[in-house]
A = this chain, B = another copy of it.
Amino acid sequence: MENLRSKCISLLEERGVTLDDIADCARFLQAEYHIDLKKEELLESVMSVLDKREVQFAILTGVELDRSAERGQMIDKDLEAILRRDEGLYGVDEVNAYGICNLYGSIALTNFGFIDKRKYGIIDYLNKHGKSGVTCNTFLDDIVGAIAASAASRFAHKWGK
C-alpha cells in the first residue's frame, strides 16, 4: 500500500494539490479549537489518512473521472457535460468523498460539509479553476475537502484523548 500512497500523492500533485495545501485546510478546520496550530502539526494526520486503502481508491477513481471528462474521453457525453460544468445536483462527487469521511466518524462528516460550502484555500482554487472550461475538478475538490476533514477529525480525536 506504500506504493499506492506514493502514487496518490503524485497524482494529487499532478492535479495541482500539495500535501501542504491539504494540511492547511485541516488546520483551518481545527483553528477554532486551537488558535495557533501550525499546518505542520496536521501533516502527520494527512499522511495517515492517505495510508488507507479506501482513501486511495477514492482518489484514483475520482481523478480518473475528472481527467476522462477533461480530455473528452467519456463514453457517455451527457455525463461528461455534467462533470465539466460541475453541476450542483450531481452528487456522486460528494458520495465518493463521504466514502473517505465516514472512516473518520461524524466529526469528519460535519467538517466536510463546512469546508465544502465555505470553500477555503486550495478547495476554492480548485473549484474556480475547474469551472474555467479547461480543467475538470468536479471530484477533486471534494476529495481534498474529505482528506482535510478526516485529518482534522483524526487530530481532534487524538488531542481529545
Residues of A in contact with B (beta carbons under 8 Å apart):
1, 7, 53-54, 57-58, 60-61, 63-65, 67-68, 71, 73-76, 78-79, 82, 88-92, 94-96, 98-99, 102-107, 109-114, 116-118, 156-157, 160-161
This chain's copy number in the assembly: 4
- Bound-complex Cα distance A129 to B157 (A): 25
Least Cβ distance of A7 to chain B in Å? 7
Top 10 closest pairs, chain A to chain B, by CB: A113-B113, A94-B106, A95-B99, A102-B102, A114-B117, A110-B113, A91-B106, A110-B116, A61-B92, A60-B79
- Bound-complex Cα distance A106 to B96 (A): 10
In the complex formed, the residue of B with least CB distance to A69 is B64
- Bound-complex Cα distance A95 to B74 (A): 21
Least Cβ distance of A144 to chain B in Å? 14
Q: Is the CB of B60 within 8 A of A91?
A: no
